[in-house]
A and B are shown apart, each in its own frame.
Chain A
Amino acid sequence: MSTKIDETLYVCMGSACHQSGVYQVLPVLQRLLEEHGFEGHIALKGAFCLGPCMDGIVIKLGERLILQVNLHTIERKFQEEILPLLQQGTQP
């Protein structure tokens, strides 16, 4: 079982993503990570503009970008895109 703790989830804090509700999404993401036992294994950090502003909020994991995250899509995006990536990389 791997306990890799240097995996970092970057959440874009650029102008566009901020306007799309980063402030509200961040605590939800934090809760989801905790609920799935990733606390202490995955670092959650802010990033300056990650690029595709039209498709915000942008989340970056390794070299993968997860797009169009917002308060309505965050649960689904987490289950469908973020969780599989995290489970590949590290086992909580």
Chain B
Amino acid sequence: MDSFLDIYSASLNKTGEELCGDKVKVIKTPHKIIAVLSDGLGSGVKANILATLTTEIIVTMLRADVPLDEVMRTVIGTLPICKVRKVAYATFTAIEVNQHTNAFKVVNFDNPPPIYLKSGRRVSLESAETRVMDRLIRISEGQLTHGDFLGIISDGVLHAGLGTVWNFGWGWENVAKHLEGAFRRCGHGAKPLVQEVIHKTRALYADAIGDDATLIGLYARRSQRLMILTGPPLDSADDMIQVKRLFDFEGRRVVCGGTTGNIVAEYLGERIDTDLVTLRPDVPPIGKLKGIDLLTEGIITLSKTLDHLRGCRGEDQLLPSDRNGATLLARELLRADSIFFLVGQKINEFYQSPLLPGNLSLRKKLIEEIAQVLIEYHKDIQIEYC
């Protein structure tokens, strides 16, 4: 997969509320990406429940390719009715992107229109109107190419600065203009653009946030690829074949494992230099080899990396600042879009020792757990055993 859809979202809760009344859910299947933003009526717990129900229903049904009117019928039929306002109501925007063609479809029910930038310039997105169960739905379609940004906002962003900085709030036009500027200033990628807009929203509200505010950004770009070779192949006759695949790979290259590192060194006819400065009580030091972006010990480092990945919730700034094998590996993983694990299955007898902590013996299990966490962080993952 040459193309990657970078997705990031951020929300502000209405001041005084512990829960956000906007709910975002993003899932990736092998064929499509589904992102949903729902804004529940009111704020706090009640809004959160409405929005959560709405996103869950939509994501689940779209994943199963259920037709739109049936999805709408289910959403409207399921939401509990507000005692105060006598309505059951949560607005939503749902985006579906085809993983193979990057064709997208935006279905919008009462949320502000999506903002679409091509190479940082705003382009208008035509929408067709249709009625489902007497509710007006707007549908837009298009195709994302590298450099495109598609932003979905809740109305809380538009209302920022209402009656103070802006008579009628920040407004859609200004938000779109701000995104254009942010594209020039803050670099490309979903995260910097979304964070910039959300910071500005907070500033306009002067910290008294009047409404839950959310932005989901989707940014299409060339995939940042990473390959990890870990573990010696079952059949040592395959050693050089697998190492050659690593060097043929276009992207960043990581090797995890002492024996694996030695195989790569043998292929290169080089000797591994260890960097003792990175030795920690719980993490062995990294090594250096030509053409390899990161070379670490295997099982202990991987196990520690899994802890770091879980702890940082997908944000590389939240990783410990210490520079050691595990933090460096976690950073490589978080900065990549698509990751290819080539996992050798030869067993080192030492790991069969009952004296070792259980998970140290299971490279395969460890890689699967790491992959699972990375999938939750929206990475494209491929695993091959050899």
Contact = CB atoms under 8 A, between A and B. Distances in A.
Given A14-B284, A18-B284, A48-B287, A53 B272 contact: no
B279 A16 contact: no
A42 interface: no
Contact of B300 (A15, A26, A48): A15
A49 to B, nearest CB: 3
A22 B274 contact: no
A15 B284 contact: yes
B272 A23 contact: no
Interface in A1-53: 12-16, 18-19, 22-23, 26, 45-49, 53
Nearest to B275: A46
B274 A18 contact: no
A74 B300 CA distance: 24
B211 interface: no
B258 interface: yes
Contacts of B275: 46
Nearest to A44: B276
Contact of A45 (B276, B284, B295, B297): B276
A73 to B, nearest CB: 17
Name which of A19, A45, A48, A49 has the most chain B CB atoms within 10 A of its CB. A48
Q: Tell me the interface secondary structure of chain B in the complex.
A: mixed
B133 interface: no
Contact of A13 (B257, B279, B281, B356): B279
A48 B289 CA distance: 12
Contact of B349 (A26, A48, A53): A53
Given A13-B258, A15-B299, A15-B360, A47 B274 contact: yes
A49 B262 contact: yes
A63 B288 CA distance: 22
A69 to B, nearest CB: 15
A19 B273 CA distance: 20
B285 interface: yes
Given A18-B297, A19-B300, A48-B258, A26 B279 contact: yes
Nearest to A46: B274
B261 interface: yes
B350 A48 contact: no
Nearest to A13: B284
A26 B284 CA distance: 12
B259 interface: yes
A14 B30 CA distance: 37
Interface string B296-309: 01111000000000
Contacts of B261: 48-49
A27 B261 CA distance: 25
B350 A22 contact: no
B258 A14 contact: yes
B258 A15 contact: yes
A2 to B, nearest CB: 24
Contacts of B317: none
Contacts of A48: 258-259, 261-262, 265, 272, 274, 287, 295, 297
B300 to A, nearest CB: 5
Given A48-B272, A48-B274, A48-B287, A13 B349 contact: no
A47 B259 CA distance: 11
Top 4 nearest A-B pairs (CB, nearest first) are: A49-B258, A46-B274, A14-B258, A53-B350
Interface of A: 12-16, 18-19, 22-23, 26, 45-49, 53-54, 56
18 contacts: A14-B259, A14-B284, A15-B258, A15-B348, A15-B351, A16-B348, A18-B284, A19-B300, A23-B279, A23-B281, A26-B276, A46-B274, A46-B276, A46-B285, A47-B272, A47-B274, A48-B274, A53-B348
Given A15-B284, A22-B284, A48-B259, 17 more contacts: A13-B279, A13-B284, A15-B258, A15-B300, A15-B348, A16-B348, A18-B297, A19-B300, A23-B280, A46-B274, A46-B275, A46-B276, A46-B285, A48-B262, A48-B274, A49-B261, A54-B350
